[in-house]
């Protein structure tokens, strides 16, 4: 059995990624924090797609909780390891910096950037031992271009892109690739409250992306076809910023 872990996998882009990887024959580990109903629905969809999966409920921003959950899974599957990791979980707390509260900066950076360390580090040793792994990090247009009202989110996603490039150099000789994708505006719950009609005027393709369009790129990077691509950040933004 081949296992793939998708953090924040119960909804939106995470769900689309889970279904794409299920189609590639992976058993999907769906991480989520609180929405049991959405997680169960995603698991049912994975099974309808002909694969199987498990639910892993833990807060990626909590290092102790994350480590305990991953160690418990590994102990229950001593003959297996997680060969594909998609660090997708994230939150937004938008505001102009002059009015941004400290907790909104800290929570966004912790959930979007520190979680990369919390989840990735425990899974690296098994990948190194098996000399194979795929790590895909969900960055953002905000991390490549910077967006007003998102100093916290831009800092986190920009840091994630830099960490992607650094880790790729550390583990490349072990046949482990590390890449990021940077979506622009994607029609999910994460863009609720944004003026789609106004924002799409800035996009050369004149529309928001669908979650599955992002998932398709993630699935490619997770495949053996992408074996010589590492340390990259692929923009998926309809030409808004490249």
Q: So which residues are the catalytic ones?
A: 153
Distance of alpha carbon 114 from the chain centroid? 13
Distance of alpha carbon 79 from alpha carbon 113, whole angstroms: 30
Distance of alpha carbon 166 from alpha carbon 224, whole angstroms: 21
* H-run or E-run covering 46: helix 36-48
Q: Which residues of 21-40 are buried (b: 16+ CB within 10 A; e: fewer)?
A: bbeeebbbbbbbbeeeebbe
Encoded tokens for 223: 């495949």
């Amino acid at each position: 059995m081949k296992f793939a872990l998708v953090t924040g996998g119960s909804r939106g882009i995470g769900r689309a990624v889970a279904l794409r990887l299920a189609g590639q024959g992976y058993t999907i580990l769906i991480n989520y924090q609180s929405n049991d109903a959405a997680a169960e629905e995603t698991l049912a969809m994975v099974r309808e797609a002909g694969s199987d999966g498990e639910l892993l409920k833990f807060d990626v921003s909590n290092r102790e909780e994350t480590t305990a959950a991953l160690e418990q899974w590994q102990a229950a599957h001593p003959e297996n390891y997680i060969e594909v990791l998609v660090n997708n979980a994230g939150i937004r707390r938008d505001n102009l910096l002059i009015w941004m509260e400290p907790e909104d900066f800290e929570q966004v950076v912790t959930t979007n950037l520190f979680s990369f360390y919390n989840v990735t580090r425990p899974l690296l040793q098994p990948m190194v031992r098996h000399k194979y792994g795929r790590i895909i990090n969900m960055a953002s247009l905000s991390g490549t271009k910077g967006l007003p009202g998102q100093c916290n989110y831009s800092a986190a996603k920009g840091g994630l892109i830099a960490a992607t490039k650094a880790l790729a150099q550390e583990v490349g000789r072990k046949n482990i690739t590390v890449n990021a994708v940077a979506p622009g505006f994607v029609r999910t719950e994460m863009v609720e409250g944004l003026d789609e009609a106004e924002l799409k005027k800035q996009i050369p393709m004149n529309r928001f992306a669908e979650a599955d369009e992002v998932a398709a790129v993630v699935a490619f990077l997770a495949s053996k076809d992408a074996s010589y691509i590492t340390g990259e950040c692929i923009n998926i933004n309809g030409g808004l910023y490249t």
